[in-house]
Amino acid sequence: MKKTLIVAGIMGAFAINAHAQSSVTLYGTLDAGLVYSNNQGGHSNWQQGSGTVSNTYFGLKGNEDLGGGLHAIFTLESGFNINSGAYSESNTIFNRQAYVGLKSDQYGTVTLGRQYDSMVDYLAPLSETGAGYGNNLAAHPFDNDNLDNSFSVKNAVKYTSTNYAGFTFGGLYGFSNDAGQFSNNRAWSAGASYVNGPLSVAASYLQLNKSGSSDNLSGAVSQGDGTAQIAANLQRTFGAGINYAYGPANVGFVYTHTQLDGITGVNVGGETLGGVAGTNLHMDNYELNGRYALTPALSLAAAYTFTNGHMSGSNGSGDPKWHTVSLQGDYSLSKRTDVYLEGVYQHATGELGNFGANVASINTLTPSSTANQTAVAVGLRHRF
């Protein structure tokens, strides 16, 4: 009897120890509110919005301690519309991230699966749209630099370094998975960041070859299923940013350049714009942003972005420009739940070649029929 009790006690101790070395966490963000826009295709609109400020999603992440500073990790993450319950990408459960990998406390992390690129990982946190408090409506036109993580990269292998006294770096490669056409819808990216007290700096690069290729929808990046705003034969995006915190105030500047050559499709506000084949569009985004905590619970955030574009190709030439201003007030009801009030205004100038005068198009909304568009949103956000 004593031997039985001893064996049972030892087995129980091993079970407790094994359980302590492995964990799975459920997490996510729910964001719902009311959005007014003064012009969407020529009409004003009152609508219930999902993910107006922060994307609505849930995820599972796991970590198993393998010993010697080595861990097995995984993440499964799904975006969805909180109003309808539908996935943000049709017929795909884990449409944001789905990967498994190994993490070394000394050498860094290698992961394989669907993941975000280095623009999202390193530079986006310094922008208004990619910061922790979120602001999807304030993203740069068409989210041309992916700072608002409009898409993630499939078939990707990714490396992320450990933290070297505030310095981190990493890179990603997304395979085309197309036999005989190695570059047909592939992606690669690299970036780095440095944090030293109140100072943060970052730089990133992203390149997509034939993104959204109609003859290789299983490649790195797709369009038409909600995962990409613009598809082109070649996209090159790079940028850098700096952020400085002083007491309750935080101010930052972000610059990005996006080169879209041979555009094959544009998806804006859920609408697909046709007749754009053969268009080249280069865009420079200059963003100044800031945040001030009036109290531990109440904060104000603001941003101004000037986007300078140049269009060329078979659809004519032009120099479209966009001015985007956003102001957001946020009040925390608890550590996990907050309410927000936000206003965004965009003014467009210049010509879009043969398509005529440029029009305003606030991110996530259907484009205006004029050069101006205003949106006001009030909502509730809960993180878990």
Region of poorest pLDDT, from 64-78, 128-142, 214-228, 314-328 = 214-228
- Check: CB of residue 140 under 8 Å from CB of residue 213: no
pLDDT per residue over 2-15, tens digit each? 444 444 444 444 44
Whether pLDDT at 333 is above 50? yes
Question: What is the pTM assigned to this prediction?
Answer: 0.90
CATH code of domain 30-383: 2.40.160.10
CA 9 distance to own-chain centroid: 49
3-state secondary structure of 109: strand
Whether pLDDT at 1 is above 50? no
CA distances from 264 to 142, 210, 224, 281, 320 (A): 14, 9, 11, 12, 19
Whether pLDDT at 276 is above 90? no
Q: For position 320, what pLDDT does the model report?
A: 96
CA 329 distance to own-chain centroid: 21
- Check: CB of residue 290 under 8 Å from CB of residue 304: no
Which percentage of the chain shows pLDDT scores above 70?
91
H helix intervals, 269-381 = none
Whether pLDDT at 354 is above 70? yes
SS3 content of the chain, % helix, strand, coil (to 5): 10, 55, 35
Whether pLDDT at 57 is above 90? yes
Q: For position 311, what pLDDT does the model report?
A: 94
